[in-house]
């Protein structure tokens, strides 16, 4: 990968269905709401949503070098890991993939925010704790900024979740953005 100068005015979101606005139009999702907000507070910042429903940390790691070359972002938001956890992938592998992605982005000149995810408690306390810790350890190892659980205050409210119990509704998207904004503002 050829390292080109980062474009501080480009923000790349690399995520899964949570960022790809699953079950609603893209314009209703938190990433589109972020773009609208940044147009007001940080004119000229371009938001690139490279999120794909079903994406895993392994898939994100494979796609990231090309995305960095193409967009040269100044800020990268990584919202991945939920699908890995739901599939029971080893937390150490999740942490390694998250660390590699964050390190690649930082080495390309971007500031990195790693958005924490949680999985349902029916996976058992040992696995859910190890899964949660994979985000903290990846942030520490890579120097990324760790953002607390993006769905905080949403995931446990059935009125804000779609029928599948995994994806937030359109009505929940402003709350997701509100959970992220204080951390992003400090980075911008």
* Catalytically active residues, by annotation: 17, 164, 167
Task: List 145's β-bridge partners, or say none.
Answer: 113
CB 76 within 8 A of CB 105: yes
What is residue 4's DSSP assignment?
-
- Tokens, residue 104: 């690649």
DSSP string, 124-158: -HHHHHHHHHHHHHHHHHHTPEEEP-TTTTTTT-G
């Amino acid at each position: 990968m050829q390292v080109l100068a980062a474009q501080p005015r480009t923000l790349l979101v690399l995520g899964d269905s949570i960022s790809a606005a699953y079950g609603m139009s893209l314009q209703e999702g938190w990433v589109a709401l972020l773009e609208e907000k940044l147009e007001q507070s940080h004119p000229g910042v371009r938001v690139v949503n490279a999120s794909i429903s079903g994406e895993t940390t392994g898939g994100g790691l494979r796609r990231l070098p090309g995305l960095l070359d193409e967009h040269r972002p100044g800020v990268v938001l990584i919202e991945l890991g939920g699908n890995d956890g739901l599939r029971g992938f080893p937390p150490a592998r999740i942490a390694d993939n998250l660390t590699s992605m964050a390190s690649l982005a930082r080495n390309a000149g971007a500031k990195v925010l790693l958005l924490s995810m949680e999985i349902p408690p029916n996976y058992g306390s040992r696995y859910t704790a190890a899964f949660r810790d994979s985000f903290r350890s990846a942030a520490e190892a890579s120097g990324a900024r760790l953002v607390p659980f993006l769905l905080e205050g949403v995931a446990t409210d059935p009125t804000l979740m779609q029928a599948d119990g995994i994806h937030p509704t359109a009505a929940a998207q402003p709350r997701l953005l509100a959970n992220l904004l204080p951390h992003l503002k400090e980075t911008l």
